[in-house]
Amino acid sequence: MTDQILPPQAASIPVISAANRVAVTLQPTDLTLSLGIARLAFDPLGNQVGTRVEYLQSFSLSPTTAKQLSEILRITLSKYEDSWGKIPMDKGTVEHLQLLESKPIKEWSIEPTQVKKPRAKRAVKTARVKARP
């Protein structure tokens, strides 16, 4: 078997995926960004009983690369909102951001937790900010 050499253009085409959930873990030397999909769960009668988050890909970034990504996203989203209007955020995301901003935490992560529903329904996985000493 021989190795194929692809033209630069063909070799650099990224795989495109969709994500509607994000989790971040911060360490002194890197930041891990995990992207995933939240899928709704239904009972046999068609009633929504919860949401399951499946994390599909994680990226470990240096602090410098994370800062560059942050600035690129800030500029890009600003231009998006200038063109097409303000992007709404759900209540849970706003609460997580407020918690992160309110506490000086050296090391934190957003981890899956179990949230109990009433007896007739199954437990639902959500994300909650957890401080580490």
Calculate mean pLDDT across residues 75-87: 95
Q: Report the pLDDT value the prediction gives residue 58, as an integer from 0 to 100.
A: 92
pLDDT one-digit tens code per residue, 86-119: 999 888 778 877 877 776 655 455 544 433 333 4
Domain boundaries, the chain: 18-132
Q: Which two tokens stand for residue 105?
A: 């935490």
Q: For residues 10 and 53, what is the distance between their CA atoms, to the nearest angstrom? A: 32
What's the pTM? 0.58
pLDDT one-digit tens code per residue, 28-77: 899 999 999 988 888 889 888 888 888 889 999 999 999 999 999 999 99
